[in-house]
């Protein structure tokens, strides 16, 4: 069952400049950043709030590291802006299977590793009214050691 909006992905040409805009304009700070070589992106996750299911909601800023990446191709065609919306779920495998049974194309046969160690898959935008949709199961949060 989908439990929350995990994040909204925003494609940008210059990650540092875009992070600075969100920091200066809204006060959002970078919670996590990484380079995902498989997806060809450099990203920054800006935490917006905590959620009742123990997760959080983020803005995910995405800068392509190569022109042939999905985000690079999307930017070349569309320019900067909202790239996708991601819904959080405790069971990405089960929810993807349920959604596939309803006739929606799931882009990965098996979920892949996403930001912060999460497990992810995408739904085809043509089956979701033009919206690239991601399903995310967050990595377990490690309890602090005392």
Q: Which of 39, 63, 83, 84 is catalytic?
A: 84
Q: Which of 7, 39, 63, 83 is catalytic?
A: 7
Q: Which of 39, 60, 63, 83 is catalytic?
A: 60
146 included as an active-site residue:
no
First vs last C-alpha separation in the chain: 34
Report residue 134 as tokens.
């991601």
134 included as an active-site residue:
yes
Among 64, 43, 67, 21, residue whose Cα is nearest residue 120: 43
43 included as an active-site residue:
yes
d(CA 55, CA 49): 9
Q: Which of 39, 63, 83, 134 is catalytic?
A: 134
The length of the chain, given as a count of residues: 146
124 included as an active-site residue:
no
Q: Which of 32, 37, 43, 145 is catalytic?
A: 43
Question: Is beta strand 133-137 parallel, antiparallel or unpaired with respect to 81-89?
Answer: parallel
d(CA 27, CA 91): 32
Active-site residue list: 7, 43, 60, 84, 134
């Amino acid at each position: 069952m989908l439990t929350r909006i995990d994040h909204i992905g925003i494609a940008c040409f210059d990650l540092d400049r875009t992070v600075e805009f969100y920091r200066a304009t809204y006060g959002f700070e970078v919670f996590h950043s990484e380079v995902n070589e498989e997806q060809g992106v450099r990203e920054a996750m800006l935490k917006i709030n905590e959620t009742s299911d123990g997760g959080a909601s983020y803005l995910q800023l995405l800068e392509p590291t190569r022109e042939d990446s999905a985000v690079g191709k999307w930017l070349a065609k569309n320019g900067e802006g909202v790239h996708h919306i991601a819904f959080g779920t405790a069971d990405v495998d089960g929810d993807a299977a349920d959604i596939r049974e309803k006739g929606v194309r799931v882009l990965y046969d098996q979920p892949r590793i996403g930001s912060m160690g999460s497990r992810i898959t995408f739904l085809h935008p043509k089956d979701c009214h033009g919206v690239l949709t991601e399903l995310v199961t967050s990595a377990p949060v490690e309890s602090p050691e005392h």
